[in-house]
């Protein structure tokens, strides 16, 4: 395959994925798709270091914004090496209790894994799932649910 | 909770259970739109006993009170229509000895329950009879003695006997429900383990609400409960002895254990253990403390429930990409997906009769409680709502209890969590009375069999 052809194929794939994402992901108010993008429930571990990341319904995949937040957390944790954290995984109320406990655990671990790839020792991170037990927003609507699908990084000491 | 294992002495003094000539029969396999009209005559009490019970129990007329328990149970079952006692022509004491069937037929009663309560050696002695009004015959008679504080249970046992005689299946009235009592804001709910009689009376709280507790389930003898507690912020499966109040963690797992249930022989607890983002199903033998890993898959495997013979386990897994119901042998082999309808499926629970699995289904933003055969065929949805889940079977496999939550605004206004029950037929949906908001109900087996 010529270099030219590879280049052309890559371009095709890129433009296709741009097209696809443009169709699939709709940004409405404080949500992109159904992932929360607002700031009103966010607290800060330090200046410019948000404490939480948000997930799509039934998903445990970290979004681009989530990865950016976690990289900030990682660099802050590297600078403050005495601080340990608990990652609290949560789900929205639209699932069965037991499955949501597992889902919250998986979300918190997705965040933990990402922090670890940025050099934070697993020993400094513990994980707890609250499933649907501790919503931040009591509302029964998509926006409230998107705020509740989250992993929150909390200082443990 | 010593009462929990007290003994009831039952003596059959007339044995007359032959079914051949009986005219009354209640079919419980179909939705019953014409519940059987029957009369529950107040149990008669002699003056001396009445005074003594008044002192002991602060009840004006214990005979009337026990009859009310029976009447309420029968009405709640949806299969019977207890007639208004104001229409009764015959006095309770005479009716119990020799009912005038014409009088009872006149008010359209097809069956009649009569009885007598006495105090004997400081104990409560009840005798009751069930009569077939149209045939003009006694079809059952029983007597039993118990401590007087158990007077409500007497009503439940009478109901069970009548239900069994008229439907041909065991009842579910002398049973308890364990559940999670809820209070406070939705964002910081306070949850306690609570236990009550099946009809909502005699509520007792088993934990104080200092830590979050979820999903309590009885063992087969109803003396132990397994549940999830966030004690010291470590979510783990616990075991509670109801009588002694002693609690202990089940196993020594380096992470969250959840979704516990007992095996049908009560010797093991089956549950999920979550670690590094993966939940698998494990069992722990309560005697040997031996832990066995049952599933081994990078997906979420949870909500396990044994078949009544202990040979199979149904569970919830998202190994297909979404939450579905699977069945496997109890050693973890021969895993087979059984749910294939549209939507997500969770919380499978095997029926005590062995032939069905009840579940929660989420489809197009609605939650359903449904049943399917154990091979996944014959799916039937019983009830649809904004949010409901976690069915638990009555011991005779005829009724399901579950919980339902209502919508709320961002301040939590409008939110409630309540227990509901529905017949397997899809009829007779009812809210179950609880002192507080409630969730995660689990039905005991019959306390006296």
- Does the pLDDT value for residue A17 go beyond 70? no
pLDDT, tens digit, for every residue of B265-282?
Answer: 999 999 999 999 999 999
Write out the H or E segment, with its range, that includes residue B101.
helix B101-106
Rounded mean pLDDT, A78-89: 97
| Nearest partner of B277 among A140, A105, A156, A70, judged by Cα | A105
For residues B433 and B298, state if they share a domain. Answer: yes
Domain ranges, residue A60? 34-155
Rounded mean pLDDT, B212-236: 97
Contact flag B389-A102 (C-beta cutoff 8 Å): no
For residues B202 and B259, state if they share a domain. Answer: yes
**Alpha-carbon distance B383 to nearest alpha carbon in chain A (angstroms):** 16
Which has the minimum average pLDDT: A81-90, B48-57, B172-181, B340-349? B48-57
Rounded mean pLDDT, B226-246: 96
pLDDT of res. A104: 98
Write out the H or E segment, with its range, that includes residue B25.
none
Structure tokens at B6: 């007290």
CB contacts of A95 in chain B (<8 Å) are 323, 344, 346, 362
Write out the H or E segment, with its range, that includes residue A98.
helix A97-117
Sheet of A27-28: strand order equals A27-28, A31-32, A35-36
B392 close to B350: Cβ distance less than 8 angstroms: no
Q: Is B29 within a domain?
A: no
Rounded distance between C-alpha atoms, residue B326 and residue B18, angstroms? 43
CB contacts of B189 in chain A (<8 Å) are 133
pLDDT, tens digit, for every residue of A54-77?
Answer: 999 999 999 999 999 999 999 999
For residues A60 and A13, state if they share a domain. Answer: no
- Does the pLDDT value for residue B170 go beyond 80? yes
Rounded mean pLDDT, A133-152: 97
A104 close to A95: Cβ distance less than 8 angstroms: no
pLDDT, tens digit, for every residue of B132-167?
Answer: 999 999 999 999 999 999 999 999 999 999 999 999
Residues 6 or more apart in contact with residue A16 via CB below 8 angstroms? none
Q: What is the mean pLDDT of chain B?
A: 93
A-interface mutation test, from B216, B217, B277, B403, most A Cβ less than 10 A away: B277
Rounded distance between C-alpha atoms, residue B41 and residue A31, angstroms? 64
> What ipTM score was computed for the predicted complex, to two decimals?
0.92
pLDDT of res. B34: 84
CB contacts of B256 in chain A (<8 Å) are 101, 105, 128-129
Measure CB to CB from residue B277 to each of A98, A109, A128 and give the nearest one: A109
For residues A43 and A88, state if they share a domain. Answer: yes
Regarding beta strands B236-241 and B247-249, do their DSSP bridges make them parallel or antiparallel, or are they unpaired?
antiparallel
Measure CB to CB from residue B214 to each of A58, A97, A140 and give the nearest one: A97
Domain ranges, residue B351? 176-443
Rounded distance between C-alpha atoms, residue A117 and residue A112, angstroms? 9
Nearest-CA residue of chain A relative to B303? A98
For residues B46 and B162, state if they share a domain. Answer: yes
- Per the structure, how many domains does chain B have? 2
pLDDT of res. A25: 56
Confidence of residue B27 (pLDDT cuts 50, 70, 90): confident
pLDDT of res. B11: 38
Rounded distance between C-alpha atoms, residue B40 and residue B24, angstroms? 16
**Alpha-carbon distance B97 to nearest alpha carbon in chain A (angstroms):** 54
Provide the 10 A C-beta neighbour count for residue B160.
22
Provide the 10 A C-beta neighbour count for residue B311.
12
For residues B139 and B11, state if they share a domain. Answer: yes
For residues A115 and A51, state if they share a domain. Answer: yes
For residues A12 and A47, state if they share a domain. Answer: no
For residues A83 and A146, state if they share a domain. Answer: yes
Structure tokens at B244: 């002694």
For residues B428 and B293, state if they share a domain. Answer: yes
pLDDT of res. B292: 97
B-interface mutation test, from A99, A122, A141, most B Cβ less than 10 A away: A99
For residues B208 and B277, state if they share a domain. Answer: yes
- Does the pLDDT value for residue A156 go beyond 50? yes
pLDDT, tens digit, for every residue of B426-436?
Answer: 999 999 999 99
A114 close to A62: Cβ distance less than 8 angstroms: yes
For residues A11 and A72, state if they share a domain. Answer: no
Rounded mean pLDDT, B308-330: 97
For residues B250 and B145, state if they share a domain. Answer: no
pLDDT, tens digit, for every residue of B44-62?
Answer: 999 999 999 999 999 999 9
Q: Is B273 within a domain?
A: yes
Tell whether A139 lies on the interface with B, counting CB pairs under 8 A.
Answer: yes
pLDDT of res. B381: 97
Structure tokens at B150: 């158990």
Contact flag A96-B360 (C-beta cutoff 8 Å): yes
Rounded mean pLDDT, B295-318: 98
pLDDT of res. A95: 96
Contact flag B272-A103 (C-beta cutoff 8 Å): no
Measure CB to CB from residue B407 to each of A97, A137, A140 and give the nearest one: A140
Measure CB to CB from residue B215 to each of A58, A93, A97 and give the nearest one: A97
Q: Which 3 state secondary structure label does DSSP give A117?
A: helix
CB contacts of B416 in chain A (<8 Å) are none
Give, as one character, the DSSP assignment of residue B57.
H
For A:41-100, CB contacts with B below 8 A are 58, 60, 93-99
Structure tokens at B16: 């007359």
pLDDT of res. A16: 46
| pLDDT over 90, % of chain A | 80
Contact flag A138-B233 (C-beta cutoff 8 Å): no
For residues B313 and B251, state if they share a domain. Answer: yes
For residues B162 and B264, state if they share a domain. Answer: no
pLDDT of res. B21: 46
For residues B132 and B238, state if they share a domain. Answer: no
Task: Return the sign of the alpha-carbon dihedral for residues A58, A62, A66, A71.
Answer: positive
Alpha carbon of B370 to those of B67, B213, B348: distances in Å? 34, 26, 10
- Does the pLDDT value for residue B309 go beyond 80? yes
For residues A10 and A59, state if they share a domain. Answer: no
Q: Which 3 state secondary structure label does DSSP give A105?
A: helix
Structure tokens at B186: 């939705």
- Does the pLDDT value for residue B23 go beyond 80? no
| Nearest partner of B23 among B131, B180, B127, judged by Cα | B131
For residues A11 and A74, state if they share a domain. Answer: no
For residues A102 and A118, state if they share a domain. Answer: yes
Kindly report the CATH number assigned to the domain that includes residue B418: 2.120.10.30
| Nearest partner of A54 among A34, A26, A77, judged by Cα | A34
Contact flag B322-A60 (C-beta cutoff 8 Å): no
Rounded distance between C-alpha atoms, residue A120 and residue B397, angstroms? 52
pLDDT of res. A13: 47
B-interface mutation test, from A40, A57, A97, A134, most B Cβ less than 10 A away: A97
For residues B302 and B411, state if they share a domain. Answer: yes
Residue after which a domain boundary falls, among B141, B167, B193: B167
Contact flag B346-A99 (C-beta cutoff 8 Å): yes
For residues A65 and A133, state if they share a domain. Answer: yes
pLDDT of res. B18: 40
Tell whether A109 lies on the interface with B, counting CB pairs under 8 A.
Answer: yes
- Does the pLDDT value for residue B31 go beyond 70? no
Tell whether A144 lies on the interface with B, counting CB pairs under 8 A.
Answer: yes
For residues A7 and A74, state if they share a domain. Answer: no
Rounded distance between C-alpha atoms, residue B269 and residue B248, angstroms? 13
Q: Which residue has the higher pLDDT, A146 or B14?
A: A146
For residues A18 and A87, state if they share a domain. Answer: no
pLDDT of res. B4: 37
CB contacts of B361 in chain A (<8 Å) are none
Rounded distance between C-alpha atoms, residue B67 and residue A95, angstroms? 42
Alpha carbon of B160 to those of A69, B64, B70, B172: distances in Å? 61, 18, 9, 6
Residue after which a domain boundary falls, among B136, B167, B198: B167
pLDDT of res. B32: 62
Measure CB to CB from residue A105 to each of B279, B387, B409 and give the nearest one: B279
pLDDT of res. B26: 72
Sheet of A52-54: strand order equals A52-54, A150-155, A85-90, A125-131
pLDDT, tens digit, for every residue of A91-102?
Answer: 999 999 999 999
Kindly report the CATH number assigned to the domain that includes residue B100: 3.40.50.10070
For residues B301 and B354, state if they share a domain. Answer: yes
Provide the 10 A C-beta neighbour count for residue A48.
8
- Per the structure, how many domains does chain A have? 2
B357 close to B316: Cβ distance less than 8 angstroms: no
- Does the pLDDT value for residue A9 go beyond 60? no
């Amino acid at each position: 395959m010529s270099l030219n052809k590879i280049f052309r194929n890559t371009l095709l794939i890129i433009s296709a994925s741009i097209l696809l994402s443009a169709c699939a992901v709709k940004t409405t108010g404080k949500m992109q798709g159904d992932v929360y993008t607002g700031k009103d429930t966010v607290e800060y571990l330090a200046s410019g270091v948000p404490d939480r990341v948000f997930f799509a319904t039934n998903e445990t995949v970290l979004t681009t914004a989530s990865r950016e937040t976690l990289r900030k957390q990682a660099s802050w944790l590297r600078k403050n090496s005495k601080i340990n954290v608990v990652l609290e995984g949560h789900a929205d109320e639209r699932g069965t209790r037991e499955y949501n406990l597992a889902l919250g655990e998986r979300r918190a671990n997705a965040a933990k894994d990402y922090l670890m790839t940025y050099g934070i020792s697993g020993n400094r991170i513990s994980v707890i799932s609250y499933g649907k037990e501790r919503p931040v927003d009591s509302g029964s609507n998509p926006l409230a649910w998107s705020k509740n699908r989250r992993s929150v990084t909390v200082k443990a000491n | 909770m010593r009462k929990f294992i007290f003994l009831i002495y039952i003596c059959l003094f007339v044995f007359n259970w032959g079914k051949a000539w009986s005219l009354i029969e209640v079919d419980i396999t179909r939705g019953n739109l014409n519940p059987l009209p029957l009369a529950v005559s107040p149990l008669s009490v002699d003056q001396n006993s009445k005074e003594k019970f008044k002192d002991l129990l602060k009840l004006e007329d214990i005979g009337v009170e026990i009859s009310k328990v029976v009447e309420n149970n029968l009405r709640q079952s949806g299969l019977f229509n207890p007639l208004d006692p104001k229409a009764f022509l015959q006095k309770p004491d005479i009716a119990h000895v020799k009912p005038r069937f014409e009088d009872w037929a006149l008010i359209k009663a097809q069956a009649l329950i009569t009885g007598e309560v006495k105090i004997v050696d400081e104990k409560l002695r009840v005798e009751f009879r069930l009569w077939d009004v149209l045939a003009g015959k006694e079809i059952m008679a029983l007597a039993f003695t118990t401590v007087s504080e158990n007077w409500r249970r007497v009503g439940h046992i009478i109901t069970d006997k009548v239900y069994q005689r008229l439907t041909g299946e065991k009842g579910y009235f002398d049973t308890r429900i364990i559940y999670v009592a809820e209070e406070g804001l939705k964002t910081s709910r306070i949850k306690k383990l609570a236990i009550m009689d099946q009809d909502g009376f005699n509520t007792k709280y088993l934990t104080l609400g200092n830590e979050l507790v979820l999903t309590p389930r009885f063992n087969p003898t109803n003396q132990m409960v397994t549940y999830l507690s966030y004690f010291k912020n470590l979510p783990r499966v616990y075991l509670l002895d109801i009588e002694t109040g002693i609690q202990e963690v089940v196993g020594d797992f380096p992470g969250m254990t959840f979704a516990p249930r007992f095996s049908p022989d009560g010797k093991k607890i089956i549950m999920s253990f979550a670690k590094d983002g993966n939940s698998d199903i494990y069992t722990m033998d309560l005697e040997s403390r031996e832990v066995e890993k049952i599933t081994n898959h990078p997906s979420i495997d949870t909500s396990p429930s044994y078949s009544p013979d202990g040979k199979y386990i149904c569970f919830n897994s998202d190994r297909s990409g979404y939450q579905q119901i699977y069945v496997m042998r109890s050693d973890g082999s021969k895993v087979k997906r059984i749910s294939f309808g549209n939507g997500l499926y969770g919380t499978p629970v095997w029926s005590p009769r062995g032939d069905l699995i009840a579940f929660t289904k989420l489809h197009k933003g609605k939650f359903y409680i449904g049943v399917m055969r154990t091979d996944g065929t014959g799916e039937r949805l019983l009830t649809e709502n904004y949010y409901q889940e976690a069915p638990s079977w009555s011991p005779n496999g005829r009724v399901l209890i579950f919980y339902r939550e209502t919508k709320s605004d961002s301040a939590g206004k409008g939110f409630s969590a309540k227990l509901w029950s529905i017949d397997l037929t899809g009829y007779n949906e009812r809210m179950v009375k609880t002192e507080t908001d409630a969730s995660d109900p689990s039905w005991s087996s019959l306390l006296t069999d």
